[in-house]
Chain A
Amino acid sequence: AQTVTQSQPEMSVQEAETVTLSCTYDTSENNYYLFWYKQPPSRQMILVIRQEAYKQQNATENRFSVNFQKAAKSFSLKISDSQLGDTAMYFCAFMMGGATNKLIFGTGTLLAVQP
């Protein structure tokens, strides 16, 4: 069974600084997808970034980038130039390839951006 582990329950960063959130996963599959989702307080979950396992290039979306280490089964999220609006719970999620959209989530990291 696949598992996703986020070892940092809470993190804090100063506005404009850079922060990295950790995520490791366990799978014996080769075809899968990885995601980072953001859930702001009392607001909807939204996708931050998506990575296809067969692509070696790390995904980037504006200030958000990932460090995808397939052999180490590691998928960390780097947020550059942190903004107050980045304050949220961040979830790492795994999806197997094939005919399913089932997401397996980690326990989340609560990120607080301090002014």
Chain B
Amino acid sequence: KAGVTQTPRYLIKTRGQQVTLSCSPISGHRSVSWYQQTPGQGLQFLFEYFSETQRNKGNFPGRFSGRQFSNSRSEMNVSTLELGDSALYLCASSPGTPGTEQYFGPGTRLTVT
């Protein structure tokens, strides 16, 4: 099986712009979660989508949003970018049953200048 893929791998944006990141889960997986990884805050949960519905949400401002399509692919969007949004954004997929292993993608490195 192909692993979790994330596109793009690297992205440079300017403050105030918006960005869309994409995640393709492992075939058959219905749950996709997003995490932000920074040196200062560590790994923080953004949100989880399961069967096109947001199942859980972390403590991030409304500028961070996501969605999931019928083929389980997911996108996350960050609007009005701030310097502090610079981070590695990780996507993880799983079959959906709670407690099961999460398979992580390679991440998208976002730099906001």
A residues whose Cβ falls under 8 Å from a Cβ of B = 33, 35, 37, 43-47, 50, 52, 91, 95-108
Contacts and interface: CB of A to CB of B under 8 A. Distances in A.
B42 A102 contact: no
B94 interface: yes
Contacts of B90: 45
B101 A47 contact: yes
A43 to B, nearest CB: 8
Interface in B40-78: 42-45, 48, 50, 55-56, 58
A107 B37 CA distance: 10
Interface size class of B (residues with CB under 8 A): 20 to 34
B99 A103 contact: no
B98 interface: yes
B31 interface: yes
B99 A95 contact: yes
Nearest to B3: A44
A91 B43 CA distance: 9
Contacts of A104: 45
